[in-house]
Amino acid sequence: MSGRFITWLPRLGIYVVGLVLSLFVLAPLYVITLAAFSSEEDVYAYPKELLPRDLSTETLSFFLNFAGMTDALWRSVFVALITLAISLVIGTPAGYAIARFSFRGADTVRLSVVATRAFPIVILSIPLAVIFIRWGIDDTIQGVAIAHTALALPFVVLTTASVFANVPAELEEAAQTLGCSRAGAFVRVALPLALPGLAASAIFVFIISWNEVFAASLLTLQNRTLPAEVLSLLEGAPLNFRFAGGFLLLAPSVIVILIIRRYLFTMWGRVVR
Amino acid sequence: MATVAQPVTLGRRLRRWEGLPYALILPTVAYLGLFFAWPMVQAFELAFRIEGDWTLSPFRSMFNDTNFNQALTFTLLLVVVIVPLQFVLALVMALIANAKIRGRGLFLAIFILPLAISDLAAGLVWQTILTERGYLNTFLTKVGIIDQDYIWLDPTKPNNLLIAVVVAEIWRSTAFVMVIFLAGLQGIPHEYTEAAEVFGAGFFQRVRRIILPMLKPAIQVALLFRIIFAFEAFAVIIAITGRAKTTLATEAWRWQAEYFDSHIAAAYSALILVLSLVSAGLVLFLFRTPRAQMMR
């Protein structure tokens, strides 16, 4: 019959809806990029230019030359790197244990790690602010990194567990029968195979810390990270500050997703099911 | 390489050692105990105890706070409006990314782009678009739909601000739901939907009778996460509405950061926790699998 007609019509519908949704996702990304790269004149011009005609780094350099902003940016990078290092060193063994061993309490551990997500950073930050003053690490990047690690660690445990679960245990066992020690089998066989997934997890941890603003702004006063600094200056901030700040906060997260998207499903497989 | 008679090395002992998994987990448990569980206990102490005395006064101050009602209603309103809308959108996105069409990979790549964007950044992006001399008004003027600038973020029109926050949050956080849905969709055997198609089920019927029921676990997980995160709505509110709108999380933040009262801040955060746990319990209860179905 009219089979052809019936198959292409819904297909066209899928493309139209997909296109509309893609525009909804992409248009704001385009707009903030355009705004961040417009000249000072264009920032305040109205109606605005909708096409990239007169690109300039004026707006971005205004933002970065704003008192203390580059320091805040570097602090953000340091905090994220410390968070990444601690949470991976501590969390990866736990992820490996959950993926490889069936031991008493394994399910309890996994469930409690998942359950930490129900206790949001909003609650954690306030007592930490009080505790850190007592310990004398208030207003330091170490303090922020400690809070961010508490936030990132459950994520690392679950994602690395999922990554190791995708590396066949048989390969490690084979290496052991061929004379590798358990540690040797892990280092020579499991680790190389898991490395891309682990890297994806690490990159995501970087972004978790880079994005986090609630704890960061409560735990610091002078030594703020980038989002905390942007938030504290937001009230009454000029347009070019907002445009550039929005773009700089957002750009790493979009780039990161482009890099690790192949591993997203390996990483989240276990968490989802 | 391969030695025949292996000496009792550390590695060999490790291979048999039953305590190994516990040793591997110990650092995580210790860290979360020290920097997660213990602060949580401290949070409750802050909320219920002032200078050694047990008291409900932080909660009394919170309930009597002029912003409390506004913060609570706006928080709940955000959850109730954002979550259902974005679940429908996420389902559509996941179905498109899972459809047997050319270019679905490109659609997926686009749909997940906002996955890691922070709510502060999303707020700033939508503020750029919606501000009075911003990009939406520019676009609408150039296309000729409006000839006078419309004030989208008019603080005197609460609904406008609500819609702006809702759009920004949907834009940012729908990708998360979609990833969970897509993983769920990929777990549905093709035979099921194909069989339904053979028996004449239309597209919407297939979605309702096969895809949605089989997606139940994914929907449950996504609901749990999204509701809990939505109760924490914070920087996006400040970025878009300034001080015109407030949520429980922004109030907790202000009491700590601006009024330096950790007790009332802790009371607000305890309320967020209670609401999160109650709604998580509700989701688990509503989505419980009946015994008869579990047998199958």
| Per-position DSSP letters for A101-149, written without gaps between them | ---TTHHHHHHHHHHGGGS-HHHHHHHHHHHHHHHT-TTSHHHHHHHHH
Instruction: Note the pLDDT of residue B13.
Output: 57
Q: Specify the number of domains making up chain A.
A: 2
Does A184 share its domain with A110?
yes
- Inter-chain residue contact B180 with A272, CB threshold 8 Å: yes
B205 at A interface, C-beta within 8 A: no
Give the residue with greater pLDDT, B89 vs B153.
B89
pLDDT category, A5, cuts 50, 70, 90? low
- Inter-chain residue contact B118 with A253, CB threshold 8 Å: yes
Instruction: Note the pLDDT of residue A212.
Output: 96
Instruction: Note the pLDDT of residue B288.
Output: 81
pLDDT category, B32, cuts 50, 70, 90? very high
- Please state which of the four CATH numbers 3.30.1600.10, 3.40.50.300, 2.30.40.10, 1.10.3720.10 is assigned to the domain occupying B66-289: 1.10.3720.10
Does A161 share its domain with A196?
yes
Instruction: Note the pLDDT of residue A1.
Output: 43
Does A138 share its domain with A260?
yes
Does A149 share its domain with A49?
no
pLDDT (mean) for B105-118: 94
Q: Is residue B6 scored above 80 in pLDDT? A: no
Give the residue with greater pLDDT, B51 vs A153.
A153
Helix, strand, coil percentages, rounded to 5, for chain B: 75, 0, 25
**Considering only CB atoms, which chain A residues are within 8 Å of B115?**
253, 257, 264
pLDDT category, B129, cuts 50, 70, 90? very high
pLDDT (mean) for B63-81: 95
Which two structure tokens, joined as six digits, stand for B287? Answer: 């989505």
pLDDT category, A2, cuts 50, 70, 90? very low
Shortest Cα–Cα distance, B65 to chain A (Å): 19
Give the CATH number of the domain where residue A174 resides.
1.10.3720.10
Q: Is residue B200 scored above 90 in pLDDT? A: no
Q: What is the count of residue pairs from A and B with beta carbons less than 8 Å apart?
A: 291
Q: Is residue A4 scored above 70 in pLDDT? A: no
Does A78 share its domain with A99?
yes
pLDDT category, A154, cuts 50, 70, 90? very high
Instruction: Note the pLDDT of residue B100.
Output: 85
Task: Compute, in degrees rounded to 10, the torsion defined by CA atoms B260, B262, B263, B265.
Answer: 90
Give the residue with greater pLDDT, A23 vs A116.
A23
Instruction: Note the pLDDT of residue B116.
Output: 93
pLDDT category, A272, cuts 50, 70, 90? very low
Does A161 share its domain with A197?
yes
**Considering only CB atoms, which chain A residues are within 8 Å of B238?**
231, 234
Q: Which range marks the domain in which residue A202 is found?
A: 67-272
Q: Is residue B293 scored above 60 in pLDDT? A: no
Phi–psi pair at B288, nearest 5 degrees: -60, 145
Report the alpha-carbon distance of residue A233 to residue A127 in Å, rounded.
24
Q: Which of B163, B161, B279 is nearest to B229 (CA)?
A: B279
pLDDT (mean) for B116-142: 92
- Inter-chain residue contact A264 with B112, CB threshold 8 Å: yes
Number of H helices, E strands in chain A: 14, 0
Please name the member of B24, B110, B231 whose beta carbon is closest to the beta carbon of A97.
Answer: B24
**Considering only CB atoms, which chain B residues are within 8 Å of A264?**
112, 115, 179
Q: Is residue A254 scored above 70 in pLDDT? A: yes
| Most A-contacting residue of B102, B135, B279 (CB-CB within 10 A), to test interface | B135
**Considering only CB atoms, which chain A residues are within 8 Å of B280?**
118
pTM for the full model?
Answer: 0.90
Give the residue with greater pLDDT, A84 vs A112.
A84
Instruction: Note the pLDDT of residue A44.
Output: 87
Q: Which of A259, A246, A163 is nearest to A204 (CA)?
A: A259
Tell me the residue ranges of DSSP E strands in B4-105.
49-50, 53-54
Give the residue with greater pLDDT, A113 vs B293.
A113
- The pLDDT mean for chain A works out to 89
Tell me what percent of the residues of chain A surpass a pLDDT of 90: 59
Question: What ipTM is given for this predicted complex?
Answer: 0.90
Give A165's Cβ-side CA count (13 Å radius): 19
pLDDT tens-digit readout, B266-283: 999 999 999 999 999 999
- Inter-chain residue contact B113 with A113, CB threshold 8 Å: no
Does A40 share its domain with A159?
no
Does A47 share its domain with A107?
no
Q: Is residue B11 scored above 60 in pLDDT? A: no
- The pLDDT mean for chain B works out to 89
pLDDT tens-digit readout, A59-97: 999 999 988 899 999 999 999 999 999 999 999 999 999
Does A253 share its domain with A198?
yes
Q: Which of B186, B137, B130, B138 is nearest to B160 (CA)?
A: B130
Q: Is residue B231 scored above 90 in pLDDT? A: yes
pLDDT tens-digit readout, B136-186: 988 988 888 888 888 888 888 888 999 999 999 999 999 999 999 998 998
Q: Which of A86, A126, A34, A66 is nearest to A208 (CA)?
A: A86
pLDDT (mean) for B48-56: 90
Q: Which residues pair with B50 in a beta bridge?
A: B53
pLDDT (mean) for B252-266: 94
Does A12 share its domain with A37?
yes
Instruction: Note the pLDDT of residue B22.
Output: 92
Q: Is residue B41 scored above 80 in pLDDT? A: yes
Report the alpha-carbon distance of residue B242 to residue B245 in Å, rounded.
7
Phi–psi pair at B7, nearest 5 degrees: -70, 160
B102 at A interface, C-beta within 8 A: no
Q: Is residue A3 scored above 60 in pLDDT? A: no
- Inter-chain residue contact A178 with B217, CB threshold 8 Å: no
Does A80 share its domain with A47?
no
Does A29 share its domain with A150?
no
| Most B-contacting residue of A59, A126, A203 (CB-CB within 10 A), to test interface | A126
The DSSP output letter for A186 is I
**Residue B228, amino acid:** I
